[in-house]
Amino acid sequence: MNELTLIVTELEQVFKRMNTDKLTELTTTLLESQRIFVTGEGRSGLMAKAFAMRLMHLGATVYVVGETTTPALTEADTLIALSGSGETKATLWAAQQAELLGSTGVAITANNDSSLAKVAQLVLHVPSATKHRNQGELESVQPLGSLFDQSVHLLLDAICLIYANKIEGAQEQAIHNHSNLE
């Protein structure tokens, strides 16, 4: 079996173990939110930023936590926090702040029992391997949290597809909002 087939096989195992009803629930939350904030560190942060870009293309008002132009979070907003372990300090702190402010908190994590999952109103459990290889995680031949990152990327793209299907003219909106400075 070649490496690409191995990766696809691992991804299939993650998605077979997931509660995909949560994708629709999360999409509804995003559509009802005034603004969307995303956060994550390292590679999870890169997945969060890619998601923010896709949502912006679809017309959402979205911000990346930690950027200089990110405004204050309010109770009308949703914070999406990504962390494989669910224990990443900066990500957890942002989720705790969202809870204190009365914002909707969403955790995307491989660890349902994590501190992040406990403070979120909605948890998207991604049953994959992380860099920690904790007991109960799916096994992976890939290094570190690659399987988590890949799974999250595809899941967030699926959410964008659900989101786009609920917006009339989504493709035109995405083309209109795509950068013209490249």
Q: Which of 20-24, 47-51, 128-132 has the highest mean pLDDT?
A: 47-51
CA 153 → CA 24, 62, 107, distances in Å? Answer: 16, 17, 14
Which DSSP string do the residues of 82-123 spell out, in sequence order? E-SSS--HHHHHHHHHHHHHT-EEEEEES-TTSHHHHH-SEE
Domain boundaries, the chain: 18-63+77-170
User: Residue 77 in contact with residue 36, Cβ under 8 Å?
Assistant: yes
Least confident of 15-24, 28-37, 67-76: 15-24
Span 147-182, pLDDT tens digits: 999 999 999 999 999 999 998 877 887 777 788 777
Which of 3.40.50.10490, 3.20.20.140, 3.40.630.30, 3.40.50.2020 is the CATH number of 18-63+77-170? Answer: 3.40.50.10490
Specify the 3-state DSSP secondary structure of 39.
Answer: strand
User: Residue 115 in contact with residue 150, Cβ under 8 Å?
Assistant: no
pLDDT for 160 equals 96
pLDDT for 131 equals 74
The residue whose two tokens read 């909002």 is 177
The residue whose two tokens read 């964008």 is 160
Reported as a pLDDT band with limits 50, 70 and 90, residue 37 is: very high
The reported pTM is 0.92
